[in-house]
């Protein structure tokens, strides 16, 4: 039964990728003739994001908001994209390229500013709360990040988007302690590549190399251009092949 469920997840992911490619082709034809179409830019961003092109997605969402600052869906998606970038900048690998933590804080703050005008909607409030928790996380106020995430979960309950706050709770809990929160995020959205990636890191900390590799593999399946997942998978395989402790 579990194997059948996993096959269903992969089939759903492939369908989303197929829909995204089709949407990108269609919107390319539309926006070529009507470059002022904000909704078209939003769809272009959504499709690019699903296909693993975050830079292109960010550019499209920003273009959509320049054309229509009231386009709430574009605000939410851009805010979540910036939140993802904030986390990746805070990782050790990203931080080696410069002031990663400082950049993470800037991105988290911008994510909150982008989401704030959309806070009249549930998804906008979730994005705003996520950004607030990430600001605390980037400032190394892990108790504050955990509190913000848990309070947000309590306010918003279940439903679409809440998986982001469970993911945030996992980050704030650190290492193996974050596993229950990541499990919940993935149960809510099985294709959540970022949560699978983070669970892979938590499982590595718990010396569960088999589970960690499975999570990195899944993250890559659901987000084929997830560079950090490829790097972590390669490092874990290298340590395993050289019999190093995880």
Q: How many angstroms separate the Cα of 89 from the Cα of each of 189, 194, 213, 228?
A: 23, 14, 22, 11
Spatial distance between the Cα atoms of 14 and 69, rounded to a whole number of angstroms: 32
Residue-by-residue pLDDT tens, the chain, 246 positions: 434 444 444 444 445 445 545 544 554 544 444 555 899 999 999 999 988 899 999 999 999 999 999 999 999 999 999 999 999 988 855 445 556 578 899 999 999 999 999 999 999 999 999 999 999 999 999 999 999 999 999 999 889 999 999 999 999 998 899 999 999 999 999 999 999 999 999 999 999 999 999 999 999 999 989 999 999 999 999 988 876 655
- What are the helix and strand counts (H, E) for the chain? 13, 0
Retrieve residue 141's tokens. Answer: 């106020």
The predicted pLDDT at position 34 comes to 57
The predicted pLDDT at position 36 comes to 57
């Amino acid at each position: 039964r579990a194997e059948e469920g996993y096959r269903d997840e992969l089939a759903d992911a492939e369908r989303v990728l197929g829909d995204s490619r089709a949407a990108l082709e269609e919107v390319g034809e539309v926006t070529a003739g009507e470059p002022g179409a904000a909704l078209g830019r939003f769809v272009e961003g959504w499709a690019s994001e699903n296909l693993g092109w975050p830079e292109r997605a960010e550019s499209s969402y920003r273009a959509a908001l320049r054309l229509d600052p009231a386009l709430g869906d574009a605000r939410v998606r851009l805010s979540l994209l910036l939140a993802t970038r904030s986390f990746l900048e805070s990782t050790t690998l990203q931080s080696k390229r410069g002031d990663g933590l400082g950049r993470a804080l800037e991105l988290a703050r911008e994510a909150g500013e982008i989401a704030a005008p959309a806070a009249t909607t549930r998804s906008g409030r979730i994005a705003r709360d996520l950004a607030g928790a990430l600001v605390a996380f980037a400032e190394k106020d892990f108790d504050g990040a955990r509190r913000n995430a848990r309070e947000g979960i309590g306010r918003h309950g279940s439903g679409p988007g809440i998986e982001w706050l469970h993911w945030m709770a996992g980050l704030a809990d650190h290492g193996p302690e974050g596993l229950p929160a990541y499990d919940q995020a993935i149960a809510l959205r099985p294709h959540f590549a970022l949560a699978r990636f983070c669970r892979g890191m938590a499982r590595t900390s718990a010396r569960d190399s088999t589970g960690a590799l499975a999570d990195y593999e899944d993250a890559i399946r659901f987000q084929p251009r997830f560079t950090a997942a490829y790097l972590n998978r390669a490092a874990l395989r290298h340590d395993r092949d050289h019999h190093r402790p995880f």
